[in-house]
Structure 1
Amino acid sequence: MAMSLEELSNADISMTSAAKKEQSLSEIPAAAYVITNEMIRRSGVRSVAEALALAPGVQVTRISEFNWQVSLRGLNEVLFNKLLIMIDGRSVYSPLMSGSFWHTIDTLLEDIERIEIIRGTAGTMWGGNAANGVVNIITKNSRDTQGHYAEVAYGERSYQELNYRYGATINDKLTARAYVKGVTGDYYSINDDLWRNLRGGIRADYEDVNRQFTVQAGGYQTKSNHYWYYADFYQDPANVFTYTDIDIYSRGAYASFDWYEQTEKTDYELHLWLDANSTNEPSAQGEFYTIDVDTLGRTQLTDRHELTVGAGLRTIYRRFMDYPEELLNHVEPWGRFSNDPRGTDVILNTYAQLESQLTEKLTSTIGAKFEYFSLNDSVEFQPQARLLYTYSPRQQFWAGIGRAVVTPSFVDTKTDSYFLGNVEILGDADGDGDKEVVAIRPGIVITKANEELKNESVVTIDVGHRFAPTPSLNIDSTLFFSQYNNVRMEGNSAWECTFGECLDGSTIPNEVFILLENYSDNLDVENYGFETAIRWTPFESLTLNTSYSYIQTEATCSNHFSCDIDLTTGIKTKYNNQPSHFVSVQSLWDFAPGWQLDLWYKYKSAVDTPSPYYKEPSVSTVDLRLAWQHQPHWPRVELVVDGFGEHAYSELQGKAPIEETIYFKASWNIQ
C-alpha cells in the first residue's frame, strides 16, 4: 500500500515477452497486456490461473476448487494446446498434450512482479504453442524480496494455506531467497475429496555492471483423494463395478540458469532449464524429463536497425504407461495407454527478427523461425510482420500478421485413450412401432493414436489502437481474425465388439460393446473478435480495470461423419457453440487510511443452441476483498468472498458445481 493508486495507474508499464527485451507497452506492435502485482493481490485470487481472468481475451473456467482450464481467444477445451505458458521464460507446458495442467502451475503470489500476456501469434520469438498467445509469469528479482514474509489463510471447505519466504543479501552483487507454500482443502465444493499442494523453491541473482546471472530451482507435489471405481468385465455381471478410493498425485522439479551479457553494441543471452514431472492420473499416467537450451544475440546494426537472432534445442525423454496384458480385467472410468511408451523427442529451432525505424513515427518488425519436431519428423516455418505508428506519445496504432504452429503432442501420435459408458439398445418392446430403450449394456470408447496427423497451425491478422487521452485514462483495443488448419477432432469410428462378439472372432463377457475411433486433422476453424482494456483512475483513491472480449468461432470440415451439419456432439459442434461475450471489471478503492475495498465482477454470456450438450447459461459473479493494514510494516489482514452470494453453479456443463467461498488471510512482510 506504499504507492498510491494514481501512481500505479500512471506508471509506465513495461514487458519483456514481446521481443525478448524490455519495452514499454506503447512500443509493442501487438496485443499486449500486463497484470500487475497490485492487481493480483487485490483481486483476492488464490492461484495464477484465476488471476488471468483479469486480462482481455483470456477465458478461465473453474472445473473444481483447485483446477482450471484456460484458453485464449476461444476454442476452450480441457486439453487446450494453443497457449504457451512460462514462468520467467521457462516453459511449463506438458509434452503429453502440448498444453498445461493448471493445478501444477503456481508460485508464491506475493513474489510475482507481473504477468505478461501476448494475444495472437508469437511463433517467431517463442515457437511451438505460441499460437493464440503467450503467458509469461515474471517473478521478482531476489533483491526486491529481502527479509521475512509470512502468510496464513483459512476458510470454508477445509481451506488452509501457509506460506513463508526469506530473502537475504550475500554481498553487494548477490542476493537470494527461498520459499515454501502449502495448501489444503476440499477438491470439490460438493464433497470432502481432499486436496493437498506443497511446493517450494530458491532463487539467486547476481548483478554486475554489464552482466547478470539468475539461478532458480524448486519442486512441487499435489495430491487429491477421490471416490473411484473400476470395472472387471470378467467378473459376474452383478459385480462388474468395484468401488474404491484413489489417490491421484502430480510431482515435479525444475532448475534453470539465465545469463545476460551486455557489450557496447550487442546483448547476449543464454537460458538453460531442466524439468521433470510425473503423475498417476489414469489419463496422463507417466513421466517426462526435459532439458532446454536457448541462445540469443541482439545487435544494433545502425541507428535505425536492430537485429535479434537466436537458436534453441529441447530434448524430452518420456516414460509412459504401456498397454496392460489384459485391459478388460481392470478398466478405470477413463485412461490412456501407449504402444510406444518410452522414447526421446527433440525440438530444434533457429530464428531472426529485424526491427527498423522507418520514419520518425513508423516502426516495422519482420521475423521468422524454423522449427523441427522429431516426434513427427516435421519442419515448420513461423513468420511475422508488424507495423507500429506512433501518432503521438498518447496515441499509437499497430497492425500485424503472423503464423504459428502447435507443438505435436504425445497424446495425438503415441497414445490410445478410452472412457467407460453405456450403450442403449433400442427396440419395439410393445409392438407399437415406436423405438424405445429396451436394454443397457456397458461400453468402452477407444480413441486410437494417429501418427499421420499434420501439425495444427494458425495465421492471425490483428490491428490495434492505444489511446491515453488523460494521464488517468488508458484505452487499449484490438480487432483480430484467425484461420486455423489441421485442428484435432474425433476420427471415423466403427464398432469393434457388439454384445461381446468382436470382429476378430473373440468374445468378451457381459455383452460389452467396444467402439474404436481415431484422431483426425480434418477440422478447420475461423474466429474473429474484438478486445478492449480500459484503466481509469477517476480519483486518487479509486481505480477501475475493465476488459471486454467478443469472440465468434466457426468450425468446418468435410468427408467425415463428424462434419454433419445436424450433429449435436463432437469438437466441431463444441467450437461452434461457445460463449461470445466476456466482461471483467475490477475496482480498487482506498476508502479510508489503511483500508481497502475491492470488487471484481466477471461475466460470461450464455450459449443458446439446439444441442443439449453445449447449452450453457450465462455466468455472473462478484468477488469481494476487504483489507486493513495500519502501517506498511504492520501485518495485513484480509477478508475475501469468492462468488459473493452465489449458490451452486457450474462454469461448464458437466463439471462440478462452484459455490460462494469465504476465507480470511493475514500476511506480514518484515524487511
Structure 2
Amino acid sequence: MPLLFSASVKSNDLDTLMAMSLEDLSATQITVTTAAKKEQSLSSVPGAVYVISDEQIRRSGVRSIAEALALAPGVQVTKISEFNWQVSLRGLNEVLFNKLLVMIDGRTVFSPLMSGTFWDTVDTVLEDIERIEIIRGTAGTMWGGNAANGVVNIITKHSRDTLGNYLEISAGEHNYREINYRYGMTLSETTTARVFAKGLKSDYYFFNDDQWENYRGGIRVDYFNSDTQIIFESGGYHNKSSHDWLTVGLNKKLNYFYLQPEQFDDYSYGGYISMDVTKQHNQTDYEVSLWADANSSTEPSSNGKFYTIDFEGLLRNRFNSVHELTSGAGIRLVHRHNASYPTGKNDTLPLWGRVTREPKGTDTIYNAYLQLESTLSDTITTTLGTKIEHFTLNHSTELQPQARVLYSYSPLHQWWAGAGRAVVTPSVVDSVTDHYIFTDTAQPISPTQTGRFPVLKFTFGNEEMENESVITWDLGHRYTHSPSLSIDSTVFYSRYKHLRMLDEPYLYCSFGSCRDGVTVPGGLFVQSSHYTNQLNAESVGFETAFHWQPLSNLRIQTSYSFINTEPDCQGLKYCDTDTFGGYPAKYKYQPNHFVSVFSQWDITQAWQLDLWYRYKSAVNSGVTFKNGHKPFDAPSVSTFDVRLAWQEKPDWPKVELIIDALGKEQYEDQPGKAKIEETAYLRASWDFL
C-alpha cells in the first residue's frame, strides 16, 4: 500500500530530533505505517511496535537485513553460516520460522513453498532503507496469515531522497567482497526514480572452500501530486553456493546402494514487479496494490519453483472526528512446482531432499477485513477489527479478530492493551511434500550389543492437519521522560494450538525386509514418521527498549527480552520433552534471556565509534542420555561488535572498519549450526551527484 512508504519525520533526522525540546518533540509526530496500513504517530499505536532507523542500520555495521533485526527487542537472530540466518520472534525458534510475516515495501517475501523466509534472498542496498518497522504480536486482522508472532516491514526510501550516485565497496576476511551502486534521477516535477545493482562474494563457511555469490538489481519509480501517489518497483536476484556433496545411488536390480562424492552447486533466483496506487479524496482514501513474483531453488530440501500474484484493494472512510473505518479485500494465487519422486531402476538421490507425488498445483487465498478506530475521548482510543481468510490448499476458512485500547495518560505516558488471533498459512511443506534423509541408526544385534546400520528416514506430509493458530494478550507502556530518555515495555501471553510436530517414528523396513513384503537394496532400514498437530504451547514474555542520550554526541539503545515456552501434548512418543526428536523439546529448551546494548559515539565531526554488545542466556535442560550426551544444553553466547568510521566532510567518501564478534574464537550461535568466529572487514562509500 502506498501509504506504507511515507513519513512526516525521516529517520535520518535522528540527530535533529534528539536535540529538540520536549515541547518541540510532542509537536513532532514520528510516524509508523505498518500497524494500521496508514501513517500514524508511534505514540498512537495500541501495540508493540519498534522502529529501526536508517541511522541505526548504518552505524551497526551490519551486512544484511537479518543482522539488523537483532537491534529490536523480541527478535532472535541466529547466524547459521557466513551469509545465512534464521530469524524468529517471541520464541518457537526454528530454521524456517513460519510465524513471522516479512515484507519489503508491503510486498511479502515469505516463501509459500517452504513456510518460512529465506533470509539470504531478502536484501537490497542497505543505504536505501529508510527504516524497518517491527510489530511484535498478532497482526492477522490487517496482514493475514503468518502474521502470528509479528510483522517485519522493510521500508525503502522514496526515490526523491536518493538522487545522484552512491557507490559502496567492501572487503574483508573469509574472501568477503561486495560492491553496491545506486543512481537516482529526476524525471519530471512529479516523478523521480532510482536504479541499483549489487554483487557479493564470500566463503559460505569460513572453515572450508564452499563459495557464496549473490547478485541483484532493481528499479523504483515514484509519482506524487497533491492527491495521488504511484509507486512502481521491479527487480531480481541470483544466488549461488558451491558445496562438497554426497549422492546416494540405489541399484534395485543388483540390490545394493552406494555413496558418491561430488561438487554440488545450489542456485536460487527470483524476480518481482509491483504497483501501488493511492488516491485521497475528501474524507476517503483509496488504495490498490498489485504485485507478482517468481522464485526458484535447487537446494534438495527446498527444490522447486513458485509464482505468486497478489491483488488487494483498501478503502478508508473518516466518517467524523470520532470514527474511521478501514475495509479491504484481496486475492493471492500461488502456482508451485515441487520436485517429484524419482523413477527408474538406477536412482541417484542427494543425501537428503524433499519430494512429492503432486509436483504441480495452484493454491488460492481469499481475504476480506474491516477495522474500526474510534476516538472516544482526548485520552482513550479503541481499535476493533477482523479478517476472514479462505485457503484452498486445505479448504479451510479462518477468522482473525483483534481488539485494542490506548490510554494516553499524559504526553509522557501511554498505556495500551490488546488481544488478537492469527493463523499460519497452510503450506505444502506440511501437507503434500515428503522429506527424506540418508543417515544411520542403532539397532540390536544381540541381547547385549547394538550396531549402527544405514537408514532412510522419511517425514511424510499430512493433508489432514489443522492450521496453526495463536491468541495473544499483551499490555504495554511507553514513557518519554525527555527527548534524551524513553522506555517502551510490553508483557504478553500467547496460547498456540495445532503446532506442527512429528509423530512416533515407525520402522517400516529392517535389514532390507519391509512389512509389505518388499525388499529394498543393501539391507537398508527405512523409518517413517508423519507431521501431526497434536502440539499446543503457552508462551509468556517481557520486552523492553531503553533509549538514552547522556551526552549530545553519545546515544545508547538497549533492549532486553525474556521468553519462556511450555509445550503441551499427549499420546505420542515425541510429546516427551526428554526425547531427542520432534518439536516439544525444541520449543521448551531455548534461551530465555536476550540483551542488546548499542552505543553511537560521535568522537569528533569526522570520527565515529559504535559498539554493540549482544547476549543470549545458556540452556540447561537437565536431560542427560545414557551415553552422557546432553542434547538440549547450550552455553550462553556473548558477542561484541565494533565500528570505527571516518568522514572528513559530508561530500567526502566515508571509510569504516568493522569487526564482528571482537576477540571471539570459534563458536556456534546455536547448537548444531556451523561454527563462526571474529570477522573483520573494511567498507568505503561515497554519496555524490
The aligned residue for residue 627 of structure 2 is: none
**Does structure 1 residue 120 correspond to structure 2 residue 120?**
no
Paired residues of 1:6 and 1:541 also in contact (CA < 8 A): no
Choose the corresponding residue for 1:183, options 168, 192, 200. Answer: 200
SS of structure 2 residue aligned to 1:412 = helix
**Does structure 1 residue 629 correspond to structure 2 residue 647?**
yes
Q: Judging changes above 3 Å, is the alpha-carbon distance between structure 1 residues 502 and 142 closer, same or farther for their aligned structure 2 residues?
A: same
Paired residues of 2:179 and 2:200 also in contact (CA < 8 A): yes
Paired residues of 2:543 and 2:561 also in contact (CA < 8 A): yes
The aligned residue for residue 506 of structure 1 is: 518
- Larger deviation, residues 328-337 vs 613-622: 328-337
User: How many aligned residue pairs are there?
Assistant: 665
Q: Trace 1:135-154 onto structure 2 (pairs within 5 A).
A: 135-154=152-171
**Does structure 1 residue 157 correspond to structure 2 residue 174?**
yes
The aligned residue for residue 410 of structure 2 is: 392
Paired residues of 2:576 and 2:585 also in contact (CA < 8 A): no
Choose the corresponding residue for 2:466, options 454, 479, 489. Answer: 454
Paired residues of 1:9 and 1:535 also in contact (CA < 8 A): no
Shift in Å at residue 334 of structure 1?
1.3
Shift in Å at residue 237 of structure 1?
9.8
The aligned residue for residue 97 of structure 1 is: 114
What amino acid is aligned across from residue 371 of structure 1 in structure 2? E
Paired residues of 2:184 and 2:193 also in contact (CA < 8 A): yes
- Residue by residue, what CA displacement relative to the aligned partner does 1:504-551 show, whole Å, maximum 9, x if unpaired? 211122211001111000000100100000111111100001100000
What amino acid is aligned across from residue 289 of structure 2 in structure 1? H
Q: Trace 1:225-264 onto structure 2 (pairs within 5 A).
A: 225-234=242-251, 240-264=258-282
The aligned residue for residue 553 of structure 1 is: 565
- Structure 1 unaligned blocks of 5 or more: none
**Does structure 1 residue 478 correspond to structure 2 residue 487?**
no
The aligned residue for residue 548 of structure 2 is: 536
- Residue by residue, what CA displacement relative to the aligned partner does 1:216-265 show, whole Å, maximum 9, x if unpaired? 00000010000000112439899721111100011000000000100110
- Residue by residue, what CA displacement relative to the aligned partner does 1:253-303 show, whole Å, maximum 9, x if unpaired? 000000010011001100100010001010111110000001101111111
Paired residues of 1:350 and 1:370 also in contact (CA < 8 A): yes
**Does structure 1 residue 56 correspond to structure 2 residue 73?**
yes
Paired residues of 2:578 and 2:585 also in contact (CA < 8 A): no
Determine the C-alpha separation between the residues in 1 that align with 2:502 and 2:115: 18
- Larger deviation, residues 18-27 vs 568-577: 568-577
SS of structure 2 residue aligned to 1:507 = coil
Choose the corresponding residue for 2:330, options 303, 312, 321. Answer: 312
Shift in Å at residue 158 of structure 1?
0.3
What amino acid is aligned across from residue 79 of structure 2 in structure 1? R
SS of structure 2 residue aligned to 1:125 = helix
The aligned residue for residue 359 of structure 1 is: 377
**Does structure 1 residue 487 correspond to structure 2 residue 499?**
yes
Determine the C-alpha separation between the residues in 2 that align with 1:338 and 1:174: 48
| Structure 1 runs (4+) greater than 4 angstroms displaced | 1-4, 8-12, 235-239
Q: Judging changes above 3 Å, is the alpha-carbon distance between structure 1 residues 545 and 227 closer, same or farther for their aligned structure 2 residues?
A: same
Q: Trace 1:260-275 onto structure 2 (pairs within 5 A).
A: 260-275=278-293
Determine the C-alpha separation between the residues in 2 that align with 1:294 and 1:547: 35
Paired residues of 2:607 and 2:644 also in contact (CA < 8 A): yes
- Residue by residue, what CA displacement relative to the aligned partner does 1:567-596 show, whole Å, maximum 9, x if unpaired? 243211111100000001110000112100
What amino acid is aligned across from residue 434 of structure 2 in structure 1? D
The aligned residue for residue 626 of structure 2 is: none
SS of structure 2 residue aligned to 1:216 = strand
Q: Trace 1:288-299 onto structure 2 (pairs within 5 A).
A: 288-299=306-317
**Does structure 1 residue 302 correspond to structure 2 residue 320?**
yes
- Structure 2 unaligned blocks of 5 or more: 1-10, 624-629
Between the aligned residues of both structures, percent identity stands at: 54
Question: Under a length normalisation based on structure 1, what TM-score does the superposition of the two structures give?
Answer: 0.97
Q: Trace 1:74-93 onto structure 2 (pairs within 5 A).
A: 74-93=91-110
**Does structure 1 residue 515 correspond to structure 2 residue 533?**
no
**Does structure 1 residue 591 correspond to structure 2 residue 603?**
yes
What amino acid is aligned across from residue 162 of structure 1 in structure 2? I
Choose the corresponding residue for 1:70, options 74, 87, 94. Answer: 87
Determine the C-alpha separation between the residues in 2 that align with 1:427 and 1:337: 33
What amino acid is aligned across from residue 320 of structure 1 in structure 2? N
- Larger deviation, residues 523-532 vs 553-562: 553-562
Determine the C-alpha separation between the residues in 1 that align with 2:444 and 2:572: 25
Determine the C-alpha separation between the residues in 2 that align with 1:541 and 1:14: 24
Determine the C-alpha separation between the residues in 2 that align with 1:522 and 1:580: 24
Determine the C-alpha separation between the residues in 2 that align with 1:610 and 1:111: 47
Determine the C-alpha separation between the residues in 2 that align with 1:26 and 1:116: 14
What amino acid is aligned across from residue 327 of structure 2 in structure 1? V
What amino acid is aligned across from residue 336 of structure 1 in structure 2? R
Determine the C-alpha separation between the residues in 2 that align with 1:591 and 1:214: 39
Q: Judging changes above 3 Å, is the alpha-carbon distance between structure 1 residues 286 and 4 closer, same or farther for their aligned structure 2 residues?
A: closer
Determine the C-alpha separation between the residues in 1 that align with 2:218 and 2:384: 38
Determine the C-alpha separation between the residues in 2 that align with 1:132 and 1:49: 17
Determine the C-alpha separation between the residues in 2 that align with 1:240 and 1:233: 7
The aligned residue for residue 573 of structure 1 is: 585
- Residue by residue, what CA displacement relative to the aligned partner does 1:78-99 show, whole Å, maximum 9, x if unpaired? 1210000000000001111221
What amino acid is aligned across from residue 599 of structure 1 in structure 2? L
The aligned residue for residue 357 of structure 2 is: 339
Paired residues of 2:111 and 2:117 also in contact (CA < 8 A): yes
